[in-house]
Amino acid sequence: MAMSRHVSGWLQAAPLTVVLGGFLIAPIIMIVVVSFWGATEYSIYPAFQFDNYSYLFGSAVVWKVFLATFKYALITWAFTLAIGFTVAYFLAFHVRSQAMQTALFLLCTIPFWTSNIIRMISWIPFLGRNGIANSALISWGVVDQPVEWLLYSDFSVILAFVHLYTLFMVVPIFNTMMRIDRSLIEAAVDNGASAFQTLRHVILPLTKPGIMIGTIFVVTLVMGDFITVRFMSGSQKANVGRLISNDIALLQYPSAAATSVVLLITVLMVIGILLRFVNIRKEL
């Protein structure tokens, strides 16, 4: 009997193992392997060399690009957190009726009915030199000359990131906030805590797992992105994703693989550090 229980256990785990093995583990192993290969202009050949890595770590530009990637992630994180937390707080604590909550929550998801790229590109005519934003500013007399840094700058890149990814912060935070036992808030108020004190000492600590899940979403999405940076900066700025995509376009697969491996390790380290602060399993 024990034997068959053993077998059925293995069988039950098998489909997931096969899927994860075939579509997650194997490709990652492949990427790691290829990252040691060499490349000519139009082909790659098996080898075991550290050229790709030594170039990566030896180039000042690559360091700068990694730094820029962290910069984008950090700034985007700060904004999405501030906005996401506020929106979730409003939904969870200010909106009383459940129906209204659901309706407003669905409203937040409406932009997601169109494609990522379209939402991003629609900023371009809006922010452009002769775009709506600049025409409005000029007609209001705020500025005389069109503001150039609105488009094709770090500003437009981060604006697009915040726009695209705030919902990933709203959802998990809203979810955790809804689970907070309301009697805890009543107790805090009964004990004379001000609204801010309640927020600071009751709601915020209890929302941490949601914040952490949202953070992981936003940080990984921003660090892995390349298309937003390319379009919103007019190809003028770079993050690690763009390095990889450039390499792939130029058929330098081993170099792209090496960069991917370094990026993967970096992101895993960031998540590892984040998870030390909060036990999100408690939440799940």
Partner 1 sequence: MSKMRYSRRSILKSGAAAVAASTLPAPMIWAQEIKDITLRQFGTGVSNLNEVGQKVKEDLGFTLEMTALDSDSVTQRAATQPDSFDIADIEYWICKKVWPTGNLQAMDTSKIKNYDKIVGIFKSGKLTPESVIAQGTAPHSVGFVEGPGSTTFAKEETGWMTLIPTIYNADTLGIRPDLIGRPIESWTELLNPEFKGKASILDISSIGIMDMAMVCEAMGEIQYADKGNMTKEEIDKTFAIFTEAKKNGQFRAFWKTFDESVNLMASGEVVIQSMWSPAITAVKSRGIPCVYQPLKEGYRSWGGGIGLSKSLTGMELDAAYEYINWYLSGWVGGFLMRQGYYSAVPETSKEFMTADEWGYWFEGKPAGGDITNPFGDVLAKAGDTRDGGSFYERMGHVACWNAVMDENQYMVRKWNEFIAA
91 is a contact residue toward partner 1 (CB under 8 A): no
Per-residue tokens: 160: 């697009």
Candidate list 2, 3, 16, 249; residue touching partner 1; CB under 8 A: 249
Per-residue tokens: 244: 């990889």
Give the C-alpha separation, 175 to 89, whole Å: 10
Contact 232, 152 (CB under 8 A): yes
Which region among 107-115, 182-190, 210-218, 239-247 touches partner 1 (by CB under 8 A)? Answer: 239-247
What is the closest distance, in whole angstroms, from the C-beta atom of residue 70 to partner 1 in the complex?
Answer: 15
196 is a contact residue toward partner 1 (CB under 8 A): no
Show the binding pattern over residues 137-156: x = contacts partner 1 (CB under 8 A), - = does not.
-----------x--xx----
What is the closest distance, in whole angstroms, from the C-beta atom of residue 80 to partner 1 in the complex?
Answer: 25
Which region among 17-25, 187-195, 203-211, 240-248 touches partner 1 (by CB under 8 A)? Answer: 240-248
Which region among 40-48, 106-114, 179-187, 276-284 touches partner 1 (by CB under 8 A)? Answer: 40-48
What are the CB-based long-range contacts (under 8 Å, 24+) for 113-116? 116/164
Query: 148 vs 181, which CB is nearer to partner 1?
Result: 148
45 is a contact residue toward partner 1 (CB under 8 A): no
Query: Which residues in 142-221 belong to E strands, given as ranges?
Result: none
For residue 123, what are the CA distances in angstroms to 142, 152, 163, 179, 222? 21, 11, 10, 36, 18
Candidate list 73, 213, 238, 258; residue touching partner 1; CB under 8 A: 238
Candidate list 7, 25, 26, 55; residue touching partner 1; CB under 8 A: 55
Q: Which of residues 214-233 bind partner 1 (CB under 8 A)?
A: 230, 233
Residue for token pair 């007609």: 139
Query: 193 vs 251, which CB is nearer to partner 1?
Result: 251
What is the closest distance, in whole angstroms, from the C-beta atom of residue 56 to partner 1 in the complex?
Answer: 11
Per-residue tokens: 11: 């069988």
Which region among 77-85, 109-117, 123-131, 271-279 touches partner 1 (by CB under 8 A)? Answer: 123-131
Residues in the chain, total:
284
Query: 176 vs 259, which CB is nearer to partner 1?
Result: 259
Task: Name the amino acid, one letter, at 158.
Answer: I
Residue 229's closest CA among 219, 217, 240?
A: 240
Give the C-alpha separation, 140 to 134, whole Å: 10
CA 44 to chain CA centroid, nearest Å: 32
Contacts of 76 (CB under 8 A, 6+ apart): 158, 161, 162, 165, 218, 222
List interacting residues with partner 1 (CB under 8 A).
41-43, 55, 59, 61-62, 64-65, 124-125, 128-131, 148, 151-152, 230, 233-236, 238, 242-243, 246-247, 249-252
